[in-house]
Amino acid sequence: MIDVKNLCKSFGDNKVLNNITETIDKGEKVVIIGPSGSGKSTFLRCLNLLETPTSGEIWFEGQMINKKGANVDELRRKMGMVFQHFNLFPHLTVMQNITLAPVTLKLQSKEEAGETALKLLRRIGLSDKADAYPSMISGGQKQRIAIVRALAMNPDVMLFDEPTSALDPEMVGEVLEVMKELAAEGMTMIVVTHEMGFAREVGTRVMFMDEGKILEQNEPHAFFSNPQHDRLKDFLSKVL
Amino acid sequence: MSIWEQIYSNLIAQDRWMLILRGLGTTLLIAFGAIIVGTLIGAVICLFRMSNIRVLRWIGTLYITVIRGVPVITQLMIFAFVIFASYSMPLNVVAIISFGVNSGAYVSEIFRAGIQGVDIGQTEAGRSLGLKKWQTMVKIVFPQAFKNILPTYTNEFIVLIKETSVAGYIAIQDLTKVGDMIRNATFNAWVPLITTAVIYLILTLGLARLFSLLERRLARSDRR
């Protein structure tokens, strides 16, 4: 589904991604962990071209997406993204946040989009917040709505960039719950997170990134119980 | 002369209040005209400054540097006596263009600050949903920028009203000029000048109040 070939990304002299080659298949739940500054967020943001790769190729559903003339907007519809800081649109109601993209892109009529949005909101138990503005709801609610907003575009893959890092501890659970449900429904997911419990429970594959490289990866059980790389052992001993 | 006689001779006699009203009308005409011209120019220059095309960015920067580096009176006289010297353009139009060109430089910076004040995450969220760059701008960035912009933009309008008081330099009879003309005719300084000052004050305070009401309306979606 996603093929990354020799991906490099530099900011000035700072080499953030160092020659990453990786394949992610449909239905996988890939969890990326690693110390801050390891390049994991940049890697994720390269996948939907929020960052432009310095070199290398990214293929999505059989198309190379980072070549000149590729329709980036088209591809992004199929890749939902959830951000650390939610990035809900503060000037729009919850309902308008969800329906903005499908309606603006003429994928659905306003009524259809509204129905879809309500259905999604009901699923996360927030249908009573449809007319609220983002400033009136909690962080956990914001992030669940941000997830639903991405889902309204009916994406083939969901990218999560530290979705719980900006939340109060008591709100982490409700967001992870939504993500678990999504995983159970078969969504392809790539998740950058510090939630080791989530990685272990939901991930089909866990990657450890450091200094712009994927140092080690494995299915979660072996990954956590039998780490090979010293750097990973060190990291796990600090976070677990 | 008693105070009342002085006021009478300066404001009432020979229908001088009509002169003041006409001056006020001219001031408002130039200020409104200039803010419209300035807003259009400001929008264009702002787009230039944020463009991906280097030449446009350069033009925008040059425009702002030149306009902000030259006194408004000098610009006004250049427009009247150099650029439009050989055209029979109405003076009010010359003033509107001149003040508009001047204001455009400031307005463009106000717009740019307002747009860049919107969190980059908003743009990223819009783009990640598949919206095109301009759709993201129109639907997500501009509405939020508008709120950032409003206080400084309205202030620019108030500044502009006051700045038009130099229009007398090119023989326009605006509010300040007519006050001065009455002073010359009656040899009384305080009545006509204080009168024009009070009118300016009413205008600027009234507008400030109006705009702050508008801002409060727009703050609807903010934290309450």
Of A183-197, B45-59, B207-221, which gets the smallest average pLDDT? Answer: B207-221
Asked which of A63-67, B10-14, B37-41, B144-148 is least confident by mean pLDDT, the reply is: B10-14
Percent of chain A topping pLDDT 70: 100
pLDDT tens-digit readout, B15-36: 889 999 999 999 999 999 999 9
Question: Between B3 and B49, whose confidence is greater?
Answer: B49
State how far the Cα of A195 lies from the Cα of A80, in Å rounded to an integer. 20
In this prediction, residue B224 has a pLDDT band, given cuts at 50, 70 and 90, of very low
CA torsion A43-A48-A52-A54 (nearest 10°) is 50
Find the DSSP H helices in B187-219. Answer: 190-218
Which helix (H) or strand (E) element contains residue B136? helix B133-136
Q: Residues of chain B with pLDDT > 90: what percent?
A: 79
Structure confidence by residue, pLDDT tens digits, B155-170: 999 999 999 999 999 9
The whole-chain average pLDDT of chain A stands at 93
Interface test mutation site (partner B, options A91, A135, A143, max chain B beta carbons within 10 A): A91
Gyration radius of chain B's alpha carbons: 21
Q: First-to-last CA distance in chain B? A: 58
Type and span of the H or E element at B33? helix B16-49
**Is B124 an interface residue toward A (CB < 8 Å)?**
yes
How do residues B106-115 score in pLDDT, each as one tens digit?
A: 999 999 999 9
pLDDT at B219 over 80: no
Cross-chain residue pair A104–B124, CB shorter than 8 Å: no
- How many CA atoms lie less than 13 Å away from A49 in the CB half-sphere? 23
Mean pLDDT over A119-124 rounds to 94
Interface mutation vs chain A, best among B118, B122, B123, B129, most A CBs within 10 Å: B129
Confidence at residue B88, expressed as pLDDT on a 0 to 100 scale: 84
Contacts of B194 by beta carbon, 8 Å cutoff, 6+ apart: none
Q: Please write the tens of the pLDDT for every residue from B123-133.
A: 999 999 999 99
DSSP character at residue A108:
S
Residue B217 at interface with chain A, using a CB cutoff of 8 Å: no
B218 at interface of A, judged by CB pairs closer than 8 A: no
Give A146's contacts in chain B (Cβ within 8 Å). 125
Q: Could you give the 3-state DSSP secondary structure of residue A2? A: strand
pLDDT at B76 (0 to 100): 96
Concatenate the DSSP letters of all residues of A154-211 into one string: --SEEEEESTTTTS-HHHHHHHHHHHHHHHHTT-EEEEE-S-HHHHHHH-SEEEEEET
Q: What tokens were used for B104? A: 């455009």
Give pLDDT tens digits for B177-195.
Answer: 999 999 999 999 999 999 9
- For residues B192 and B182, is the Cβ–Cβ distance under 8 A? yes
Burial A81-99 (b: 16+ CB within 10 A, else e): bbbbbbbbbbbbbbbbbbb
Cβ neighbours, 10 Å, residue B3: 9
Predicted confidence (pLDDT) per residue in A146-169, tens digit: 999 999 999 999 999 999 999 999
Among chain B residues, the shortest Cα distance to A149 is held by B129
Residues of chain B with C-beta less than 8 angstroms from the C-beta of A101: 126, 129-131
Cβ-based neighbours of B126, under 8 Å, separated by 6 or more: A89, A101, B135, B136, B139, B140, B141
The candidate with the shortest Cα–Cα distance to A195, out of A148, A232, A163, is: A163
Distance from CA of A49 to the nearest CA of B (A): 9
| Cβ atoms B127, A50 nearer than 8 A | yes
Query: Cβ of B221 and A135 within 8 Å?
Result: yes
Q: Which residue, among B140, B143, B144, has the nearest Cα to B117 in the 3D structure?
A: B144
Contacts of A97 in chain B (CB under 8 A): none
Written as one string, the DSSP assignment of B62-119 is HHHHHHHHS-HHHHHHHIIIIISTTS---HHHHHHHHHHHHHHHHHHHHHHHHHHTS-
Residue of A nearest to B121 (CA): A87
- Residue A75: how many CA atoms within 13 Å on its side-chain side? 21
Structure tokens, B89: 């353009």
pLDDT value of residue B12: 84
Does B215 lie at the interface with A, CB-CB under 8 angstroms? no
In order, the DSSP letters of A62-98 are TEE-SSTT--HHHHHHTEEEE-TT----TTS-HHHHH
A69 falls in which pLDDT band (50, 70, 90)? confident
- pLDDT value at position A70? 87
CA A40 – CA A38 distance, rounded (Å): 6
Structure tokens at B146: 């508008």
| pLDDT number for residue B221 | 57
| pLDDT band (50, 70, 90) for residue B222 | low
Is residue B223 predicted with pLDDT exceeding 60? Answer: no
Counting one residue from chain A and one from chain B, the pairs whose CB atoms sit within 8 A come to: 73
